[in-house]
Amino acid sequence: MLKECITIVAALLGAANPPETDKLFDERVSVCANLSIEAFKQKVPIDVTLAVAWHESNLTNAGTNSSGCSGPMQIKIKYWCPNTKGIWSPLKADGNLKKCDLVKRGIFTLKYYLKRYNHLDNALCAYGWGKCTDEAKEKYVKQTLKYKRKIKKILERLEDED
């Protein structure tokens, strides 16, 4: 998956070739590979996972933002991470960062929305905005689907080369 992620990150950055030494590029490739492996394990489409992560954090291990979201997929810790006892509840906002694998929980969150809404556009609206509005569709869904298409083409091309 490393070769694929190098190609994906370079393409998303608009670079013909990956830089020889760039810590941020290396982080993005590592995040891409970790997300891809976990998405495969959780049976979540890799192109969708990477598109969301690119939209949310540019495939970085982003820290907690002002909205309380963290990690490569920018999940809300209080809703999607287990509490201090290691238990997750969809009814309690008591998640804790200390016991939270942000890659696993980010993909878990995406999987939850994909199952709940059973339609990619609506799942992306809920993931990125909490609810589906015209603004969410225009700003979040449209852009994420653009990334998804680009990533899917890269993956298909690399698969054909093998």
Per-position b or e across 84-99, b if 16+ CB within 10 A of its CB: eeeebeeeeebbeeee
**pLDDT less than 70: residues of the chain:** 16-17, 20-21, 162
Residues 33 and 29: their CA atoms lie apart, in Å, by 6
Q: Please give the pLDDT value at position 29.
A: 95
DSSP SS3 for 1: coil
Over residues 42-78, the pLDDT tens digits come to 999 999 999 999 999 999 998 888 888 999 999 999 9
Token pair of 10 as six digits: 């370079």
Residue 55 burial (10 A CB sphere; 0-12, 13-18, 19+): buried
Rounded to two decimals, the pTM is: 0.91
DSSP SS3 for 40: helix
Q: Please give the pLDDT value at position 150.
A: 95
Domain hosting 88: range is: 2-161
Of 60, 64, 58, nearest in space to 77 by CA: 64
Q: How many domains does the chain have?
A: 1
Task: Report the CATH number that the domain containing residue 101 is assigned in CATH.
Answer: 1.10.530.10
- Contact present, 121 and 137 (Cβ < 8 Å): yes
Q: Please give the pLDDT value at position 159.
A: 85
Q: Please give the pLDDT value at position 143.
A: 94
Residues 72 and 60: their CA atoms lie apart, in Å, by 5
Of 113, 46, 72, 70, nearest in space to 81 by CA: 70
